[in-house]
Amino acid sequence: MDPLTYRARTILDGLVSQAGGINQVKHVYIVGYASDRGTEEYNQRLSEERASSVANLVLKQSNT
């Protein structure tokens, strides 16, 4: 399951475009967060999935 919403994808697309393409960016630090509602293990997995989804989208956009 991809945890990114349509709105999040739209915002990220805009950020990548504004950056002039990822080839001009040397470093990007991506962090995923989750609320404290679930178990620690669940929240850790969710935050990692969120960060991974963002990283994958940024890399995909940089190759287009």
Give residue-wise pLDDT tens across range 2-61.
Answer: 668 889 889 888 888 877 655 666 778 888 889 999 999 999 999 999 899 888 888 887
Query: How many domains is the chain partitioned into structurally?
Result: 1
Q: What are phi and psi of 55, to 5 degrees?
A: -60, -45
CA distance 31 to 54: 9
Whole domain around residue 42: which residue ranges? 6-62
**1 occurs within a structural domain:** no
Whether the CB-CB separation of 53 and 3 falls below 8 Å is answered with: yes
What are 44's two structure tokens? Answer: 């850790």
CA distance 45 to 39: 10
What are 8's two structure tokens? Answer: 């999040």
**54 occurs within a structural domain:** yes
pLDDT of residue 47: 92
pLDDT of residue 64: 61
